[in-house]
Chain A
Amino acid sequence: MLTIAGHIFKSRLLVGTGKFASAEVMCRAIDASGSEIVTVALRRVDLGDPADDIMQVLDRSRYVFLPNTSGARDAHEAVRLARMARASGGGEWLKLEVTPDPRTLLPDPVETLRATEILVAEGFKVLPYINADPILALKLQEVGAAAVMPLGSPIGTNQGLLTRFQVEIIIEQARVPVIVDAGLGLPSHAAEAMEIGADAVLVNTAIAGAGDPVRMARAFAQAVEAGRAAFEAGAGRRQSRAAASSPESGLGFLR
């Protein structure tokens, strides 16, 4: 069971709701993922398309909504978005994202820490999206983040767990859940993150951009389960020399 800020979840796969070809495919993919936490973004209403309303298609009773602050370039903008999310009934949950550079979408550690301090004081359950920086993860934990969300690779790149070494250190030190977010492009990437002990992963682009998002969502769910089971089972030791799996004795009859 995954526990974040005192809430218990069966699924260790969080999914994003962006980039789906249709609301219908999105709903079926989320259903197939088994996820209990879904991320959403905040944007100006498109006055030319008033019926385009994600809240009319997603069943709020089934999921915890995790609004993000995507688009924020500094702490001030992120705090403003967070307060709007709460005012629009988004609850206290918040995926804090501060990405000043649209080219890399890498998170700003200084502004992220600053915004976390402000939002924790205002009662938000803050889950900051961060570069895989073990020192920053510790500082965020100290100021009251409900979880930390280190990136596997930059958002939307599908490159997998390029930050494995740093994420392992973050996991080793963490007292709050570690949710690997961003860049996981294949179920095997998600399984790898879970095998090294991540508490959960968040996937959006890899599912929404798949040829069949519903099947891909299911594949990610299976990979996350398998990876977690492997972590709990305890992996065998890696070694450089071969070790026979079959008995080395009892071969006298051959020679």
Chain B
Amino acid sequence: MKIICNGEEMVAKEGETLEEFILGLQLNPATVVVECDGRIVLRDEYTQITLSEGVVLELIRFVGGG
């Protein structure tokens, strides 16, 4: 199943949750904020959202800045 993550086409497993997808990228779900098709996803929804074909994800996090 193809999805778009941070502008790149990626493959997600059938039935994979957002939480599982984030963990699969070696990222800590607690420090990543997600926009899913333009909507900000609350952290406690990560385990409830199942990825679907063509979904557009933006994974954002804090970086150093002034």
Contact = CB atoms under 8 A, between A and B. Distances in A.
A41 B61 CA distance: 8
A16 B31 contact: no
A42 B61 contact: yes
A88 B32 CA distance: 6
Interface in B42-61: 42-43, 58-61
Interface in A165-189: 182
A84 B33 contact: yes
Contact of A41 (B32, B33, B65): B65
Interface string A152-172: 000110000000000000000
Interface string A12-29: 000011111000001000
A84 B33 CA distance: 7
A17 B40 contact: no
Summarize A's interface: helix, strand, loop or mixed: mixed
Interface stretch (A48-56, A192-200, A245-253): A48-56
Nearest to A53: B31
Nearest to A83: B40
A112 interface: no
Contacts of A204: 65-66
Number of contact residues on A: which range applies?
Answer: 35 or more
Interface residues of B, number: 26
Contact of A56 (B5, B8, B31, B60): B31
A50 B6 contact: no
Nearest to A43: B63
B27 A50 contact: yes
B28 A16 contact: no
Given A47-B5, A87-B42, A88-B33, A54 B60 contact: no
A41 B64 contact: yes
Interface in B22-40: 25-28, 30-33, 35, 40
B33 A47 contact: no
A67 to B, nearest CB: 7
Nearest to B65: A41
A45 B60 contact: yes
A50 B26 contact: yes
A11 interface: no
Contacts of B61: 42-43, 45, 53-55, 88
B6 A19 contact: no
B60 A47 contact: no
A52 B43 CA distance: 20
A141 interface: no
B29 to A, nearest CB: 11
A84 B43 contact: no
Contacts of A84: 33, 35, 40, 60
Report, nearest first, the 4 A-B pairs whose CB atoms are least far apart. Answer: A41-B65, A16-B66, A204-B66, A88-B33
Interface of A: 16-20, 26, 39-45, 47, 50-56, 65, 67-68, 70, 83-85, 87-90, 155-156, 182, 202, 204-205
